[in-house]
Structure 1
């Protein structure tokens, strides 16, 4: 899939992930990128589910998820607006950014956004980078001080 190939290329060029792994299927449907400096294990994904593209952040660590939520609450920022700002900075014209936050059946804490239905491979790759840039600045996602 062109979306995943380009996203993997751009993720490697950006050098902001600890590891990058395409799914091992014959017809890969996802790309997983490990967070670089998070206080606990976390990873980003770009995946196609039933014909729709999604970008997500996953962690099993409750404290990491709560550190992100707490920083947003204390700063009064909207996560949707922060992602939108990163997308605009990367040159992606954005309609509405939607973010779901929940705990999945694998007991992982998830932040997930559906991408626009007609997203190009370039835009999908930039959504992945925008997610990383947004979350890197929140909670315990980075060990360096901003």
Structure 2
């Protein structure tokens, strides 16, 4: 069985030194993979509602960028796979995203697994200056 964990990147764990130390410890314990999530905003009551009908977790109010958190994890580990779960691909131009992912794959010596999605919160799209409408077709083009 392979077991993966979230990269410590939210709330009190949104500290690069803590993230590095925890990733090193997880790898030493036999963890197979480390995964980073993608958030731009953390409104307590998003207009569309948080999935599951619950309030948005307060810990999301403080967060590290997922690709930079994975870079920290890459530098603190040697073996574990590193992945995004999921990266909201439309918040950056495709070429810029491709460059960042390629760089991260090089830094990690080929350990990167990329999960790409659309996200669910309109407020994040608005904050990124990206239209909500047509996002499915734009994701297809991005891929």
TM-score, structure 2 as length reference: 0.26
Q: Between Structure 1 and Structure 2, whose CA radius of gyration is higher?
A: 2
Taking structure 1 as the reference length, the TM-score comes to 0.26
- Structure showing greater relative contact order (alpha-carbon pairs closer than 8 Å, 6 or more residues apart): 1
| Bigger strand fraction | 1
